Each structure stands twice: as structure tokens, then as C-alpha cells.
Amino acid sequence: MRSAGTRLLLVRHGQTNWNLEGRYQGGIDVPLNLQGQTRSEALAEELSVERIDVVYSSPLSRAVDTARPIARKHGLDVRIEPDLREIELGEWEGMPATVIAERYPELFRQWVEDPRPVRPPGGESILELHDRVIAAVDRIIRLHPGKRICLVTHKVTLVIIRTHFLRLDLPEEMRRPFPNGTWEWLDVLEMPRGNPCCSAAAVTSPTETSDRST
């Protein structure tokens, strides 16, 4: 049966220079560039007509600085959730995909085809990311039943949320564009044993083109 109308608003942070350069950001705190800042203000204006009850963000500044204008439009503060941060990519962080492919050809080939069994050197596995992200989202849902919850986060983190709740194929979702500064709603369902899942998303705001880097 449906819970009391809980909805998740999933937002990917605005653009950074590393997005433009195709560099893997991971846990490095790369700031928004000018286009990302401008898009974040426009995004907040778009979302000003939506009901939003609470805003959560990854602690990385590219997410926080995307979340702040949204929260400000709704008279809210941004709540920082450390476990919404992007996947830790270890030695790959700061590298363009082309360089990673040259230095780690077999590992990167596996990552592109199906990242689930791959751990970037010194980094975090998809399973570890899944466990921390879904635990955080579950906590947030239970704290705010029946609310409209905005989560501002990152590409791979969003893939984890979508594939977990919508039962989607992770390799396929990794290849699906989720441009910087765009958003979509997920309706949360309460299953018989109290485990939340989500219905299909109402996808909106496909306005900003972007890379597929993390």
C-alpha cells in the first residue's frame, strides 16, 4: 500500500570544470563553475513552485551550493548528510576517463561494462556505496513520513538510489544520462513489512546538457 504521500526529489549538483573536462571527481571537493552556479539559481526558481518540506545535501560543496538556493526559496536550511556523498574513487579521482583507460585498461573496461564487481584502487566498491547511501535514504524517509524530501547529490549516488528503489539494472543506469542541474521525483511506497520502495519517477527538467563523469 502507499505510504502517506512521501516523495523524493532527486537533484544532481550543478556543473563543475571537472565535469567539462571529463575528470572523475569522486570524493574530491570540486566547486561549481560559473555555469553551475547560474544553473543552480535557475533550478531553485524552477522548483519554487514545487512543495518541498526538507532539503538534504551531500557535504561536498558542489552539492551544497546547488542545494542552498533551493532551500532558500522554500525558507529552509540545508541538512548535510555525509552518506549522500559521491563514490570514493581512490586513485582515479582527478583523472580523465581516457587516462584511467590507459593506466587501468582491464579494470576500467570492467567498470564501464558492469561496475558492480569493481573496486577502483584505493576507492570504494559499488556494494559499499549502496549500503551507506540506502541506509541514509532509509533514515531520511523514516524521519519525514508523508513529506516532500529534496536530496541533492551526485551521479553514481543517484544511480544507486534509482536502481535500489525502482529495481533497475545498474549497468544500464550508469549509462543513462542524468545531466548536471536536473531533477526528478520518486514516489515512495510502503511495502507490507515496512520496507520502503518507490514507484516510477516523474522525470522533469532535462534542460542542461552535461557529461557522464562522476
The pLDDT, as a whole number, for residue 5 is 78
List CB contacts of 7: < 8 A, sequence separation 6 or more: 147, 148, 149, 185, 186, 187, 188
Residue type, 88: E
Percent of the chain with pLDDT over 90: 84
Name which residue leads in pLDDT, 77 or 213.
77
| Per-residue pLDDT band at 102 (split at 50, 70, 90) | very high
| Per-residue pLDDT band at 4 (split at 50, 70, 90) | low
Model confidence, pTM: 0.90
| Per-residue pLDDT band at 197 (split at 50, 70, 90) | low
pLDDT tens readout for residues 16-41: 999 999 999 999 999 999 999 999 99
Second-level CATH architecture of 2-88+126-204: 3-Layer(aba) Sandwich (3.40)
Active-site residue, selected from the candidate residues 13, 74, 130, 164: 13
Residue 205 predicted with pLDDT over 50: no
Mean pLDDT of 122-143: 97
Domain extents in the chain: 2-88+126-204
For the question of residue 130 being annotated catalytic, the response is no
Please answer whether residues 13 and 32 qualify as being in contact, where contact means their C-beta atoms are separated by less than 8 angstroms: yes
Helix (H, G, I), strand (E, B) or coil at 115: coil
Rg from Cα positions in the chain:
17
Mean pLDDT for the chain? 90
For the question of residue 144 being annotated catalytic, the response is no
Residue 208 predicted with pLDDT over 50: no
Query: What is the phi-psi region of residue 167: left when phi exceeds 0, alpha when psi lies from -120 to 50, beta otherwise?
Result: left
| Per-residue pLDDT band at 1 (split at 50, 70, 90) | very low
Nearest to 19 by CA among 164, 182, 148: 182
The pLDDT, as a whole number, for residue 213 is 62
Q: Secondary structure of 34-88 in the HEC alphabet?
A: HHHHHHHHHHHHHHCCCCCCEEEECCCHHHHHHHHHHHHHCCCCEEECHHHCCCC
Q: How far apart are CA 103 and CA 106, in angstroms?
A: 9
Please answer whether residues 62 and 32 qualify as being in contact, where contact means their C-beta atoms are separated by less than 8 angstroms: yes
Helix (H, G, I), strand (E, B) or coil at 201: coil
Residue 161 predicted with pLDDT over 50: yes
| Beta bridge partner(s), residue 191 | none
The pLDDT, as a whole number, for residue 79 is 98
Residue type, 69: P
Decide: residue 170, CB within 10 A, 0-12 exposed, 13-18 middle, 19+ buried.
middle
Q: How far apart are CA 68 and CA 75, in angstroms?
A: 10
Set of cell numbers at residue 150: 529534496
The pLDDT, as a whole number, for residue 45 is 97
Set of cell numbers at residue 185: 521525483
Active-site residue, selected from the candidate residues 74, 144, 154, 164: 154
Residue 3 predicted with pLDDT over 90: no
